[in-house]
Amino acid sequence: MKQKILDILAIQKKAVSYSYLKEELHIETKEDFTLFMKTINQCIDDLEIVETDQHELVLLEYSNLLKGILRINRKGFGFVDGEEQSVYIHERNLHGALDEDEVLAKVWTNKDGSVEGSVYKIVKNKLKNIVGNIRKRNNRLTFIPDSETITHPIKITNMNDLPLVDGHKVICKILSYGSVLTCEIEQIIGHINDPGVDIQGILLAHDIQAEFPSEVIRQAKSLTKQISDDERAKRKDLTRRIIITIDGDDAKDLDDAISIKRLKDGAFRLGVHIADVSHYVQANTPLDKEAYNRSTSVYVVDRVVPMLPHILSNDICSLQPKEERLTITCEMDIDKDGNVFNYQLFPSIIRSTERMTYNNVNRILAGDYRLITKYKHIYDSIIAMAQLSEIIRNKREGNGSIDFEKPEAIIELNEQGKISDIRVRERHYAEKMIEDFMVTANECVAKHMKWLEYPCLYRIHEQPSLKKMREFVRIAKIMGYTWNGGIQSVYPKQFQELLNESRNTDAYPILSTTMLRSMSKAKYDKTCVGHFGLALNEYLHFTSPIRRYPDLIVHRMLRKYGFEQCIDTEQLEHDILLLEDMAEQTSYQERNAVDAEREVEDMKKAEYMETQVGKIFNGIISGITNFGVFVELPNTIEGLVHVSEMHDDHYNFSQEAYAMIGQRTHKMYRIGQKVKVKCIKASRFTQSVDFAFVEKERGHGKGYRRKPKGKA
């Protein structure tokens, strides 16, 4: 009955009446009618069919309803992100929905051609907990949520049952939804002035828990680093090879190591050896279930919230120097043009020769005699790695791989946990070299899994939407750069050529960031559709199973269907079905972790700028809206010059010129323009920084011009 109803509606592609469906289905008996109505109601509940205001039925895909996730902005409005479109929702049309709720939205087109929507139904509430502060007002304690997107009245049921004081940060569990959110306080996190409480509050608001359940810790402690004779017999022994890890100075979760050998005719044999986490984290165990729930490690200013307990992430699985570790090896023979012409994947045992850092490798490559002498036993390997990396990178760039090099902030803390400085992380040769090797291994394993048709989680990145392409091309043109080719079907190489043209100019950071924002978000999927940004047809994540669950799944599937040669068709079908949920879960948790990391960073940047109020900075205009101008400082801190702070004229936002233009003086502020600003306000609590232009010293109006040919 259900399939017949869906087939009829699919053919019609429009709303039809109940009576039309009854006639088409030849519903005559009372029993048939009961089944018919029961099926219709079930399809409506499952969001496959929509009943219109005229009491007609239509498939969801042919209705004016969009199913998606609601994202609410701090300003109060939001967007519903569906599979193929994103629709603007005005604050008055949220109808009680909360940030990240799964909703149905009614969609319409306005007279000016813009598309808008209104929340029609809340399908699923995502928000379970609210973090906020206890404040004393008029001699009464009240709860103020940290998130500005929560505007609902909140009723706390146990406010008088706890020893609360003004300034306590707490986490509340939502008991019921509606026009009023009924909650109870689950935990007092600490006082807002206590070190680290601010960061902990953000993590808990994103349901990122530092502590592991007791059964997970018990299982982790039961594991051993000792390698049995049976396990040795299943693996290739690589403990005599020169194999090194290269990571940041303070990294403890070392999940990748490299070996290299020169072959004939300028070729190399590259070994990428990855911690075999799947040996220790077996499917459906407490460790595995907790890792799946977390899906990723989270890295914030002063701490790491790991996917796996520290005994695994920093010890048993971590590829510590001079200690035997279980690994899965991807060994590739790469010719002088960067092509992999032969490869092997196999379980192995390694003993890392040295634990190297990016800093030391960079200094060795720069000719540091003291370090070259200290590490003379691996010097030839490092030089060979640098040579192979250059070959791989040239091939990647030739294929059109986009290298955004978006500036990343390093927030430095003093002994008291206060911010001492914020600077840009420098990315030198060693960092790029390891990236080249990891991408090469990831692509190699993806091809292997795809062509052998093993069930797998792929890392996919689709090409930008037409709407975002139009916006990017318009902004690039305003900044003096021309897009070569059409925008209906675009290629990574076109983006890379435009970036290369702007490299080493002041325009590059803005153009790179704008380009990044125009891209689709990378995600995980059970289907291999390629990675647009890397210009690769096959790609997955294989190289970081200590901190990413999708990598662990790739290892697990490679072991089951590759090394152990599983041929159970029922098991195969079961795994394929599981991958769809895994892709959704891991993609969501990745976005959640990124949001938490960004929120902590924004808070700490604002906290730093609280100490800089009144100071003047050089900056660059990074964005323009109808309410003001965003300015980014060289250390990546971004603040807003609100239009109300632009006192020398009345400024209007020109959508066509993407500029703020003075009504009387015709002065123009454009994206990419260098300016001087004064910090007039900053707040860690609202994670905001406010600037004002230093009028006498700012440049007027023409933005960037393209660099002359042949000049840096």
* pTM for this prediction: 0.84
Strands (E), 110-167: 115-124, 129-137, 140-145, 154-156
Residues 324-339 pLDDT 10s: 999 999 999 999 999 9
Residues 1-53 pLDDT 10s: 888 888 888 888 888 888 888 888 888 888 888 888 888 888 888 878 888 77
pLDDT at 696: 58
pLDDT at 107: 84
pLDDT at 333: 97
Nearest to 159 by CA among 184, 182, 137: 184
Q: Which residue type sits at 573?
A: E
Phi, psi angle pair for 664, to nearest 5°: -95, -45
**Tokens representing 401?**
């791989």
Q: Average pLDDT in the 549-578 region?
A: 94
Higher pLDDT among residues 493 and 695, named by residue: 493
pLDDT reading at 367 higher than 90: yes
With vertex at residue 693, the alpha carbon angle to CA 692 and CA 695, rounded to the nearest 5 degrees, is: 135
DSSP conformation class of 191:
E
Query: Contact 43/49 with Cβ under 8 angstroms?
Result: yes
Q: Average pLDDT in the 176-185 region?
A: 91
Phi, psi angle pair for 193, to nearest 5°: -90, -5
pLDDT reading at 630 higher than 90: yes
Report the chain's mean pLDDT, rounded to a whole number. Answer: 89
Residues in the chain: 712
Query: Contact 552/278 with Cβ under 8 angstroms?
Result: yes
**Tokens representing 712?**
């840096």
Residues 228-273 pLDDT 10s: 999 999 999 999 999 999 998 888 899 999 999 999 999 999 999 9
DSSP conformation class of 538:
S
Q: Which letter, b or e, does each residue of 558-592 get, where b requires 16 or more Cβ atoms within 10 Å of its Cβ?
A: bbbbbeeeeeeeeebeebeeebeebbebbbbbbeb
Structural domains of the chain sorted by starting position, each given as residue range(s) with its CATH number in brackets: 2-61 (1.10.10), 64-124 (2.40.50.140), 129-194 (2.40.50.640), 225-462+524-600 (no CATH), 466-519 (no CATH), 612-697 (2.40.50.140)
pLDDT reading at 705 higher than 50: no
Confidence of residue 594 (pLDDT cuts 50, 70, 90): very high
Gap between the Cα atoms of 279 and 234, Å rounded:
12
Full DSSP string of 195-242: TTHHHHHHHHHTT--SSPPHHHHHHHHH--SPPPHHHHHTSEE-TTS-
Q: Average pLDDT in the 626-637 region?
A: 91
Residues 352-364 pLDDT 10s: 999 999 999 999 9
202 CB-near residues (< 8 Å, 6+ apart): 131, 146, 300, 596, 599, 600, 603
Residues 420-433 pLDDT 10s: 889 888 888 999 99
Q: What is the CA radius of gyration of the chain?
A: 28
pLDDT at 487: 77
Confidence of residue 87 (pLDDT cuts 50, 70, 90): confident
pLDDT at 698: 41
Residues 512-535 pLDDT 10s: 888 888 888 899 999 999 999 899
